């Protein structure tokens, strides 16, 4: 019989605990530019992988500098009714202007509805392969990556909430400057109409003032707009004043070395403004998500305690049995006949049930739980958008080596992808999607159930990737 110390509690709860801690942690605000990521406490930027290595089990939300972005606002009336059409159109345009490599850049798409029920949409492209590297580094070091947004998106949300008169003006504009890069966002009736990136002639406030005068000149779309100016990285020789012309308001000193994290802190985003995120379209969690998680943890703890208590009772019963047999041998003087088991007055059916329960507990304690749960988590962390799958329940029979999983998805294809990936692993057999139905009231999405049989001896920490289709 294995001792309790043989079960890898420390190793299992080490990685699992870090990932759970990351899910519950308050995210740290990071700003990503060409030099890496930085926070309010960092003396200099770090590569995101180095930041994750120093902060395992924590959470991060990243704001991306305009120096790494390219912007697009689509013409009204285009047939871009779904996410796939919008992404295909954006990739085609970015590829046309920046080359074939631009077609694989990460995209943050957005769409908002106007007062006349028409729709405005657009996309931000993250230059290079930085987007995929961010998610890979976060997964490697058990960091929860909550959002990766272009800088103008959270800044626009914050300013619209702080200055509703500006956000609700017939024509309003936001000028976000980072050194020589100026992001010009023009709003009409609170809806984005123009989103441009301009390059100043120099990183000076005089050059910024000259460009703003051109954008707000008579005949231009920004004429008579209320303009808010924010940013960093300009010279301190001549400060741009709010009274330079009517309607202009400078929000901070533009000669700052780096942006303040508070500029991008948004408690509750407005649905009427763009929510661009490179991690995909945001799905707002149901109010029942945290209570269900708490109930699941309580059930897991109760199961672990029940298993430990059952094992203790089995050890006590075995010890008592040996004592009674010894007393019987001593009293009868016939040690050879003492081998018959003493049932201590228990009915045969109750004794068999107790033995089966004890055997099930021992089998559960011997399972390679770390590898099993790692497979489940990796199967659900595929290329689908973040937040599109939530696990609800896990039921496992050690005697039959059978597993049942329940989850919640936004798209049935996500559940089918999980089944395909588990079925391709040598340790998983007879992986079947046994039930699929609409979620009950209070949950958003579709509920599914899958069953499988396991070969514990073949479980490994890493779940194998699916083989390429058609040999490609």
What's the farthest any 2 CA atoms get from each other in the chain? 117
φ, ψ at 84 (rounded to 5°): -65, -45
Instruction: Report the side by side order of strands in the sheet with 28-33.
Output: 36-38, 28-33, 59-64, 144-150
pLDDT at 282: 57
Taking only Cα atoms into account, the Rg of the chain, rounded to an integer number of angstroms, comes to 30
Structure tokens at 25: 């942690």
Alpha carbon distance 277, 257 (integer Å):
25
pLDDT at 360: 73
Scanning 82-216, the segments in alpha helix (DSSP H) are: 83-98, 130-140, 152-162, 164-167, 205-215
pLDDT at 183: 94
Helix axes 348-365, 289-332, angle to 10 degrees: 120
Is the pTM of the predicted complex or chain greater than 0.85? no
The pLDDT tens digits for 300-345 are 787 878 777 778 888 888 887 787 777 777 766 544 434 444 444 5
Q: What is the DSSP letter of 338?
A: G
pLDDT at 11: 46
Structure tokens at 42: 């960092």
Give pLDDT < 70 ranges for the chain. Answer: 1-14, 42, 114-117, 129-130, 237-245, 281-290, 293, 331-351, 382-387, 442, 466-472
């Amino acid at each position: 019989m294995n001792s309790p110390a043989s079960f890898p509690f420390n190793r299992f709860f080490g990685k699992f605990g870090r990932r759970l801690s990351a899910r519950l942690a308050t995210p740290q605000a990071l700003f990503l530019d060409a030099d890496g990521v930085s926070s309010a406490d960092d003396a200099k930027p770090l590569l995101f992988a180095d930041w994750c290595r120093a902060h395992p089990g924590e959470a991060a939300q990243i704001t991306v500098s305009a120096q790494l972005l390219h912007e697009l606002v689509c013409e009204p009336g285009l047939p871009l009714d779904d996410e796939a059409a919008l992404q295909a159109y954006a990739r085609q345009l970015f590829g046309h202007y920046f080359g074939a490599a631009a077609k694989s850049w990460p995209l943050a798409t957005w769409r908002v509805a106007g007062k006349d029920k028409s729709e405005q949409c657009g996309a931000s492209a993250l230059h290079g392969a930085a987007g995929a590297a961010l998610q890979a580094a976060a997964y490697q070091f058990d960091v929860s990556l909550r959002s990766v947004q272009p800088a103008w998106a959270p800044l626009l949300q914050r300013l619209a909430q702080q200055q509703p008169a500006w956000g609700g003006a017939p024509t309003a504009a936001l000028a976000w400057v980072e050194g020589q890069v100026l992001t010009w966002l023009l709003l009409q009736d609170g809806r984005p109409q123009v989103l441009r990136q301009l390059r100043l002639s120099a990183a000076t406030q005089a050059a910024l003032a000259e460009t703003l005068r051109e954008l707000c000149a008579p005949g231009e779309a920004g004429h008579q707009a209320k303009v808010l100016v924010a940013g960093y990285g300009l010279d301190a020789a001549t400060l741009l004043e709010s009274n330079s012309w009517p309607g202009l308001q400078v929000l901070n000193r533009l000669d700052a070395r780096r942006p303040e994290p508070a500029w991008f802190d948004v408690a509750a985003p407005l649905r009427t403004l763009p929510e661009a995120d490179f991690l995909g379209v945001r799905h707002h969690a149901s109010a029942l998500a945290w209570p269900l998680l708490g109930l699941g943890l309580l059930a897991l703890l109760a199961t672990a305690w029940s298993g430990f208590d059952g094992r203790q009772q089995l050890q006590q019963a075995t010890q008592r049995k040996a004592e009674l047999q010894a007393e019987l041998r001593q009293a009868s003087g016939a040690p050879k006949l003492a081998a018959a088991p003493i049932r201590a007055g228990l009915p045969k059916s109750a004794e068999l049930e107790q033995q089966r329960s004890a055997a099930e507990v021992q089998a559960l304690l011997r399972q390679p739980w770390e590898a099993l749960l790692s497979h489940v988590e990796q199967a659900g962390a595929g290329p689908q958008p973040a937040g599109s799958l939530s696990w609800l329940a896990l039921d496992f029979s050690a005697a039959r080596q059978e597993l049942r999983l329940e989850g919640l998805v936004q798209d049935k294809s996500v559940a089918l992808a999980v089944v395909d990936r588990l079925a391709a692993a040598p340790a998983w057999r007879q992986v079947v999607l046994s039930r699929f139905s609409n979620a009950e009231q209070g949950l958003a999405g579709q509920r599914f159930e899958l069953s499988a049989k396991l070969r514990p001896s073949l479980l490994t920490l890493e779940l194998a990737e699916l083989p390429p289709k058609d040999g490609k």
